[in-house]
């Protein structure tokens, strides 16, 4: 079976890096040749923006505003790594994924994939480039064409990119079905004959069919039963190890991302507010929004008392985002400065990027709180 998988995927061995090694470039310098080395960035996203226009009028329509779905996002993903992208619904994380694949045209910004500015590519080059980057969708019921057999769904991309046709295509389809844990004879069936988890596996096989380097996982387990979620997550991890895949893993809660990511970016209202190694994000969150998200993860231990940060109000409209720091309307620590001045997204050391004026103070607060709890409850088991 391993042999078969090796034939399907001709990618080199996984270049997995320790998350802390090497300088991170959330805001990347334009260096075209930098990704030639195996450990470099596979993907660089620079100041990406997508404003959806709001039009009024029927024939002579004019723009009366814009939804700032993605408003200046920068990050990079190293080869073989998994970057988790987390945020509430409507924060622009899905749009970011679509922009990277050029399923949407950006308002501004660049996406450099493997040394190539993909928005500068002409249509035919772009179509060839699509082989390198794939997507796994959230809804396994909407992401498979109901009128195509599973064999055609997985086999079509091979044909289009000239990877395999005829008997060879059939053989590879069966191999891929095997790789994702389905049976070869499933190729003749239609999507409606499968369960949600199985469909998601078909979606994974379709993405793998073209031997991509990058896979954007757009909440691939959010629509699945909890019991199936772990199966699919494990499958994704196994495939990454086996084929040296790089993932951008989009999710709306930090607990799923924790399982699979090397680094995590937290998004709020079209901007990334914090980006760091997984361990840093979970142990030393600096941005109050990240802290709130983390406090929402339930801990399956009744003896551990945790301060829950409940955010007040709703996410503001991305049509008219708040002035200054976008989070100030809901932030428990905000003051005048936050509503007047937008915080810089800056490296606070060790590749930990935060966009908050008071990130240092907030960190100490967290530490002081921990000390207090430790002192006031000496009977509690020592953590870590």
Partner 1 sequence: MEDMQLELAEPAAAEPKELVQSPWRLAVRHFARNPLAVAGLVFIAFVTLMALFAPVIAPYKFDAIDLFNIKAPPSAQHWLGTDELGRDELTRLLYGARVSLSVGLLATLLSTLIGLVVGAVSGYFGGWIDTILMRFVEAMLSFPSLFLLIILASLIPTGIDVKAMVLILGLFGWMGLARLIRAEFLAIKQKEYAEAAVALGVPTWRIMLRHFLPNALGVIIVSMTLGVGGNILSESALSFLGVGIQPPTASWGNMLTNAQDYVWNAPWLAVWPGLAIFLTVLAFNFVGDGLRDAFDPHSKR
Q: Are 80 and 14 in contact (CB under 8 A)?
A: yes
- Kindly tell me which of 92 and 157 has the beta carbon lying closer to partner 1: 157
- Kindly tell me which of 108 and 126 has the beta carbon lying closer to partner 1: 126
Q: Which residues of this chain interact with partner 1, rule CB under 8 A?
A: 59, 98, 101, 103, 127-131, 133-135, 137-139, 142-149, 156-157, 160-161, 181-185, 188-190, 192-195, 197-198, 203, 206, 209-210
- Kindly tell me which of 208 and 331 has the beta carbon lying closer to partner 1: 208
- Kindly tell me which of 180 and 292 has the beta carbon lying closer to partner 1: 180
Shortest reach from residue 235's CB to partner 1, in Å: 13
HSE, CB side, 13 Å, CA atoms: give it for residue 182: 31
- Kindly tell me which of 141 and 282 has the beta carbon lying closer to partner 1: 141
Shortest reach from residue 91's CB to partner 1, in Å: 19
**What is residue 72's DSSP assignment?**
E
**What is residue 351's DSSP assignment?**
T
Shortest reach from residue 195's CB to partner 1, in Å: 5
Q: How far does the chain reach from its first CA to its final CA, in angstroms?
A: 40
Q: Are 244 and 15 in contact (CB under 8 A)?
A: yes
The two three-digit tokens of residue 310, written as one number: 């409940």
Shortest reach from residue 131's CB to partner 1, in Å: 6
- Kindly tell me which of 171 and 189 has the beta carbon lying closer to partner 1: 189
Shortest reach from residue 20's CB to partner 1, in Å: 32
SS3 label, residue 259? helix
- Kindly tell me which of 195 and 255 has the beta carbon lying closer to partner 1: 195
Q: Are 173 and 187 in contact (CB under 8 A)?
A: yes
**Greatest CA span in the chain, whole angstroms?**
72
SS3 label, residue 305? coil
374/122 Cα distance (integer angstroms): 60
HSE, CB side, 13 Å, CA atoms: give it for residue 106: 25
- Kindly tell me which of 249 and 353 has the beta carbon lying closer to partner 1: 249
Shortest reach from residue 315's CB to partner 1, in Å: 23
- Kindly tell me which of 145 and 255 has the beta carbon lying closer to partner 1: 145
Name the E strands within the chain: 41-56, 62-78, 82-86, 108-113, 116-117, 133-136, 214-218, 246-251, 263-268, 271-277, 346-347, 353-354
Shortest reach from residue 246's CB to partner 1, in Å: 16
Shortest reach from residue 193's CB to partner 1, in Å: 6
Query: Which residues touch 217 (CB under 8 Å, ≥6 apart)?
Result: 135, 136, 236, 247, 248, 249, 250
Query: Which residues touch 49 (CB under 8 Å, ≥6 apart)?
Result: 68, 70, 71, 72, 73, 106, 107, 108, 109
Shortest reach from residue 139's CB to partner 1, in Å: 6
């Amino acid at each position: 079976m391993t042999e078969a998988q090796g034939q399907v995927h001709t990618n080199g061995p996984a270049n997995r890096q320790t998350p802390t090694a090497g300088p991170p470039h959330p805001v990347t310098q334009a260096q075209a040749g930098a990704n030639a080395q195996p450990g470099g960035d596979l993907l660089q996203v620079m100041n990406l923006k997508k404003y959806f226009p709001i039009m009024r009028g029927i024939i002579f329509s004019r723009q009366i505003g814009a939804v700032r779905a993605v408003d200046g996002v920068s990050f990079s993903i190293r080869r073989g790594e998994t970057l988790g992208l987390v945020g509430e619904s409507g924060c622009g994380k899905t749009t970011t994924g679509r922009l990277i694949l050029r399923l949407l045209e950006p308002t501004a910004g660049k996406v450099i994939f493997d040394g190539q500015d993909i928005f500068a590519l002409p249509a035919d080059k772009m179509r060839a480039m699509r082989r390198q980057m794939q997507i796994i969708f959230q809804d396994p019921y909407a992401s498979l064409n109901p009128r195509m057999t599973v064999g055609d769904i997985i086999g079509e991309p091979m044909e289009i990119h000239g990877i395999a046709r005829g008997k060879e295509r059939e053989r590879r389809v069966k191999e891929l079905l095997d790789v994702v844990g389905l049976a070869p004879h499933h190729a003749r069936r239609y999507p409606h004959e499968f369960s949600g988890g199985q469909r998601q596996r078909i979606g994974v096989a379709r993405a793998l069919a073209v031997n991509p380097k990058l896979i954007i996982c757009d909440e691939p387990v959010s629509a699945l039963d909890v019991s199936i979620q772990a199966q699919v997550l494990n499958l994704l991890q196994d495939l990454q190890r086996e084929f040296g895949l790089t993932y951008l893993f989009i999710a709306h809660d930090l607990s799923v991302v924790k399982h699979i990511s090397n680094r995590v970016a937290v998004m709020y209202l079209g901007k990334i507010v914090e980006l760091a190694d997984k361990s840093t994000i979970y142990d030393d969150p600096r941005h109050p929004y990240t802290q709130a998200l983390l406090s929402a993860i339930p801990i399956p231990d009744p003896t551990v008392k945790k301060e829950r940060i409940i955010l007040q109000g709703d996410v503001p409209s991305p049509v008219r985002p708040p002035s200054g720091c976008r989070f100030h309307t809901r932030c428990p620590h905000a003051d005048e400065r936050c509503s007047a001045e937008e915080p810089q997204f800056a490296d606070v050391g060790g590749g930990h990027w935060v966009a908050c004026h008071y990130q240092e103070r907030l960190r100490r607060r967290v530490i002081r709180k921990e000390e207090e709890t430790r002192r006031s409850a000496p009977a509690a088991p020592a953590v870590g």
